[in-house]
């Protein structure tokens, strides 16, 4: 995968994760699952920022 495709995939993962945390979610998440999801999204966001920095 190219850097652009990797960045796009990470952005889509972030969007899906945030949707799970949003007010229009269909399932309520437990506190444990919510904390794990937030930690996962933080890691993905850091990777995305790093990829964008190397692209420019």
Query: What mean pLDDT comes out for the span 40-52?
Result: 95
Which long-range contacts (C-beta less than 8 Å, at least 24 apart) are formed by 1-9?
3/51, 3/54, 3/55, 4/55, 6/51, 7/48, 7/51, 7/52, 7/55
Give the integer Cα–Cα distance in Å for 54 and 17. 24
Query: What mean pLDDT comes out for the span 31-43?
Result: 97
> How much of the chain is in helix, strand and coil states, percent to nearest 5?
80, 0, 20
Give the integer Cα–Cα distance in Å for 30 and 28. 7
The pTM assigned to this predicted structure is 0.85
Q: Confidence band (pLDDT; 50, 70, 90) for 8?
A: very high
């Amino acid at each position: 995968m190219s850097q652009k495709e990797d960045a796009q995939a990470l952005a889509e993962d972030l969007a899906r994760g945030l949707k799970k945390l949003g007010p229009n979610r269909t399932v309520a998440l437990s506190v444990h699952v919510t904390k794990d999801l937030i930690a996962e999204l933080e890691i993905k966001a850091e990777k995305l920022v790093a990829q964008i920095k190397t692209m420019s």
